[in-house]
A and B are shown apart, each in its own frame.
Chain A
Amino acid sequence: MIAAFPYPPTPIGTGPKFHPPAATRPVDLRCAKTKRYGVHLELFARNRVIIVPAGINHRCLRTRWPVGIIEVRGSHTLGDFFRIWGQPLSQTRLVGFKTTRDRPVRAYVAGKRWRAPLRRLPLRRHSNIVLQLGRYIRPHKVFLFPLGL
């Protein structure tokens, strides 16, 4: 079993909390007129995947596919993305899920724990960001992006 299947997967959750809708709030951000680059965001709650929807469409930050890729133009933070999306993100809240301060939402960047406030996490080119609430899920360090992003 272990030899044949070395990467135990995490199933996608069912129900509306695991499939939050896309939304685009008119957040005032400064965008550089530079080429967009990719950042990968993975969300987990209660040992299940939360889908980051396609269709978040701000001129600085957008998602064109429901695969967790955020296309970024300029210099922004995870907090900017969640503000545009209109979903909660804090030590105790992740999208539609809540937790307590003694079991906070955890963030990982390239597999390493991010201990500063979540909303300040910078969206750097080709970052792989994992947010988790509940049981620990081993975060990937690397994500391969579409060519040209």
Chain B
Amino acid sequence: MRRVALVATLALVLVPAAYADADPASDILYLQRIYLPFFGEKVSDANAQTLKKVVDEAWAKGYKVKVALIASRNDLGGVFQLWERPQTYADFLGRELIFLYKGKVLTAMPNGIGVYQYKTSVDPEKAIVRKIDIGEGADGIANAATVAVARLAGLKVPPLPSAEGGGDGGTPVWELVVIIVGGLALLAAMVFFGPRVWRRRTP
């Protein structure tokens, strides 16, 4: 009896209370199939479309999978402690969605890919995704997820767009205008003042 009481007390002390929901991906994935990062570096359109096409093909084939791309710590919102822990985050995310979705959940971060399915062993899937290389940036993560979904669903891996085009959507137009105008002003100053300075220095 005393042992039972001790175990119960330890359980109360050791098992943490449920944590609040604070990861943006769960709030997006309960409705959609893909969570694209938008808290920091973003995925290029071409890479996002390629991933979407493969995920849709997988669903059409009966292989249900939802994908969360986590490109920065900020994309985890309040559970940023799970940054660079893709498997733990897959377990976490899958459990948040259990009342709405029980298919596979795939999480991709710069250092790896995690897979989870409620009450189902995913060891074979983990072995497959472990072998996938992840390229640089958000596009590299998107491409790795595309390869992962294609391989898991038994689809042909499509040609992958460049992983160099990611980032924050490119240089804004106003920045280009500032650069061009600034460059022209500098050139004009050199043309106007350059000869005078040259003449002064020449003995």
Contact = CB atoms under 8 A, between A and B. Distances in A.
Interface of A: 2, 4-14, 40, 42, 44, 47-49, 51, 65-69, 128, 130, 136-140, 142-147
Nearest to A43: B21
Contacts of B82: 7
A70 to B, nearest CB: 13
23 contacts: A2-B15, A2-B16, A7-B92, A8-B16, A8-B17, A8-B18, A9-B92, A9-B93, A12-B21, A12-B26, A12-B30, A42-B20, A42-B21, A42-B78, A48-B99, A51-B27, A65-B38, A68-B27, A138-B16, A138-B20, A146-B39, A146-B74, A147-B40
A137 B19 contact: yes
Q: Which 7 A-B pairs have the closest CB atoms?
A: A140-B78, A67-B24, A144-B74, A49-B21, A146-B39, A9-B96, A67-B27
Given A8-B16, A11-B97, A67-B27, 4 more contacts: A4-B88, A47-B18, A51-B30, A138-B20
Contacts of A6: 16, 81, 88
A107 to B, nearest CB: 12
B56 interface: no
B80 interface: yes
Interface of B: 14-22, 24, 26-28, 30-31, 38-40, 73-74, 76-82, 88, 91-93, 95-100
A136 B19 CA distance: 9
Contacts, number: 123
Contact of B27 (A66, A137, A147): A66
Nearest to B93: A9
A34 B141 CA distance: 35
Nearest to B29: A12
Residue of B24, B80, B95 with highest tally of chain A CB at under 10 A: B24
Given A11-B98, A12-B26, A12-B30, A144 B19 contact: no
B7 to A, nearest CB: 14
A81 B76 CA distance: 24
A129 to B, nearest CB: 10
A14 B30 CA distance: 10
A142 B31 CA distance: 25
A140 B92 CA distance: 15
Nearest to A69: B24
A40 B17 contact: no
Given A65-B24, A139-B20, A12 B95 contact: no
B20 A67 contact: no
Given A145-B39, A147-B40, A65 B28 contact: yes
Contacts of B31: 66
A136 B78 CA distance: 17
A12 B96 contact: yes
Best-buried of B28, B77, B95 by chain A (most CB within 10 Å)? B77
A138 B21 CA distance: 10
